[in-house]
Amino acid sequence: MAELIRRFGGEPISAPSMGEAPLDSHDEASVFVDALIDNAFDTVVLLTGVGTRMLVGVADAAGKRDAFVAALGRVTTVARGPKPVAALREVGLKPTHVVPEPNTWQDLLKVVDEHASAADKRVAVQEYGRSNTDLLDALRHRGADVTPVPIYRWVLPDDLSPLRDAIDRIIAGDVGFALVTSATQVDHVFQVAEQDGKADDLRGAFKQVGIGAVGPVAAETVRGHGLTVDYEPDTPHMTPFVRELARRSVDLLAKKRIAHANGVNTNDWRRVDMLWSGAGDAAQSKPTIADSVFMKACRREPVPYTPVWLMRQAGRYQRAYREIRGSVTIKELCYTPDLAAEVTLMAVDRLGVDAAIIFSDILVVVEPMGFNLEYLKGEGPVIDNPVRERGDFDRVREGDARELDYVYEALRKTRRALRPDIALIGFCGAPFTTASYVVEGGKSSNYRHSKTMMFRDPRTWEALMDKLVTLQIDYMNAQVEAGADALQVFDSWAGALGPDDYKRFVMPHTKRLIDGIKAKHPDTPVINFATGNPALLPLVKASGGDVIGLDWRVDLADAWASLGHDTPVMGNLDPIALHASPNVIRERAKEVLDKAEGRPGHIFNLGHGILPTVPPEHAAMLVDAVHEMSARNV
């Protein structure tokens, strides 16, 4: 761990805090060995590699190693991650099931539920340094007859001086980040601090010290001691843990200390609690939105590097996002301002991008119009009362943008907590894409119902678009008034149209939307982003927008030349490139930057949103590469 910290440019303060000690008596382990050999168990849960080896050692000492190993091979074995897997391999066995990362006890229960039902089963759990009563109780709740098998315990090291020195340096303000790799570490740190009468001083000092936890169990223990974890890696291993903190710790620590100076209790805070203004202002040189490289690029002003943000930068590719989504639906996430703001801010904290985009969905506008919107697993958004003919349109309401106040509240919370020089983007779906959802009733591969309405009943199509755009103009203007610095119009389905149909059925409505925004907020940049058909680009430009978004299907240099270099552009790396190796990602990013030739007005982005399967470290690496390779003197 210390070597990793040095490798990434930090100064390690090594403080051993725990060790593994065999129990004074192995009576319970011996009883388990005999019972397993006598076929008394159906399932054995192995929580650690050390414990698995110790059990084999107990059997070996009793002359029963071969019988014990054979018995393990007969039952269902559940290994919590790679370490017990390695221990089993040493005796020639493979586990029946392996708990995937991050290897928490909750992940273990998911494996049990999916593959090794506990109901009416005799389950032995090899324990580690302390009993996990939550796991044991959960297995019993599922109908298992559970036998815990303690084999070793965690103890403090014999020499406590390094740990005491680390505690003193934290209290003295000589530490930037404290990195926690296990729950027991946290307990032992506070045990020693309590013994020395320094626990309160330590908690107070942590208000200005960043805390990183390698995984959810360690993070939960940190919170149990009255502190907040400032960073968890997406991959719960040491190398990504240190690497990710190396790239983000300076910004995260500065933010935490500014918050503390401004009166925020940083031992118990959320991202939305951040305050950039307050008592600490006198000692700070605070940036403003005027310093935003993103906003400058939207105006084609010179910038020190190409700004970058990523569509869907808050999403399922991130473990922290998936954990939030595990307890709420997508609608609940969109409708809860604190949660929407949290995931918006989280993406900025983790990636170091130059703009945030508020977490919401393009279809929230359809509910005030009377459409029933649901999100079904595996199907996405579904509208069960679509408009297919004139009689359907008669029940469509005008829509009141005030019904979308939860979006504005999320914007207000995000703008207050977001670093002042990071731009906040609001958005809506373009009229065609949004209208097509309410006509199709959900996703479509051929847009049959939408095109049929355009061709067969253009009067109803025009009426639907007029009603929708009237609401969207109010909605987008309200987003600016709630704190959005820029706006984006997503026409994700425009590529289904040819130029003539786009010009006749779509362009007038998109133009009316953008004109309606600019009439009220002329200084707010609007990004017009359409995908799928490069032949539409001249018409997209004609429909309005300060910045034209480019998807990956078009050459950036050719597209920018055709639009005119006086028009800022955004794009356009193929999202699939993020599945490639880091070297290839860097090469592909450089190709995009080379096509932009460093001229003012380029905002780097993907040609569409990040896919859920992208390794999160690849997204972060792309952001760093763009900043590094585009750096220039201005």
Between CA 83 and CA 85, with CA 84 as vertex, the angle to 5 degrees is 85
What DSSP line would sit under 120-148, residue for residue? T-EEEEE--SS--HHHHHHHHHTT-EEEE
3-state secondary structure 523-589: CCCEEEEECCCHHHHHHHHHCCCCEEECCCCCCHHHHHHHHCCCCCEECCECHHHHHCCHHHHHHHH
Q: Which residues contact 105 (CB under 8 A, 6 or more apart)?
A: 80, 132, 134, 135, 138, 217
Running DSSP on this structure, what letter comes out for residue 457? -
- 152 annotated active-site: no
Degrees to nearest 5, angle at CA 395 with 391 and 396: 115
Rounded to 5°, the CA angle 118-55-32 comes to: 55
- Are the CB atoms for 526 and 447 separated by under 8 Å? no
* One-letter identity of residue 233: P
Q: Is 447 a catalytic residue?
A: no
Our answer to whether residue 312 is catalytic in this structure is yes
**Cα→Cα distances 158→14, 21, 170, Å:** 15, 12, 21
Q: Which of 230, 354, 361, 491 does the annotation list as catalytic?
A: 361
DSSP helix/strand/coil, 156: coil
Instruction: Catalytic residue, from 257, 312, 419, 512: name it.
Output: 312
CA distances in angstroms from 45 to 30, 55, 112, 237, 510, listed in the order given:
16, 12, 10, 22, 59
Q: Which of 76, 118, 78, 125 is nearest to 98 (CA)?
A: 78
- Copy the structure tokens of residue 25: 């008596």
Distance of CA 219 to the CA centre of its chain: 16
452 CB contacts (<8 Å, ≥6 apart)?
none
Residues 6+ apart with CB under 8 A from 73: 93
d(CA 528, CA 546): 8
Active site annotation includes 169? no
Buried (b) or exposed (e) across 94-129, using 16+ Cβ within 10 A?
ebbbbbeebbbbbbbbebbeeebebeebbbbbbbbb
- Active-site entry in 437, 447, 475, 502: 437
- Among 297, 365, 345, which Cα is nearest to 525's? 297
Q: Is 501 exposed, middle or buried (0-12, 13-18, 19+ CB in 10 A)?
A: middle
The closest of 333, 336, 331, 337 to 320, measured between CA atoms, is: 333
Phi, psi of 46 (to 5 degrees): -110, 110
> Which residue among the candidates 122, 300, 325, 416 is catalytic per the annotation?
325
Q: At what angle do helices 27-37 and 65-74 cross, to 10 degrees?
A: 60
Catalytic residue chosen out of the listed positions 65, 153, 316, 412? 316
Q: Following DSSP, what letter does each residue of 204-225 receive, concatenated?
A: HHGGGSEEEESSHHHHHHHHHT
How many whole angstroms separate alpha carbon 150 and alpha carbon 129? 8
- How far is the C-alpha of 541 from the C-alpha of 341, rounded, in Å? 31
- Total Cβ atoms within 10 A of residue 500: 9
Dihedral of the CA atoms 594, 600, 601, 603 (nearest 10)?
50
β-strand pairing of 423-429 with 486-491: parallel
Q: Active-site residue numbers?
A: 312, 316, 325, 361, 437
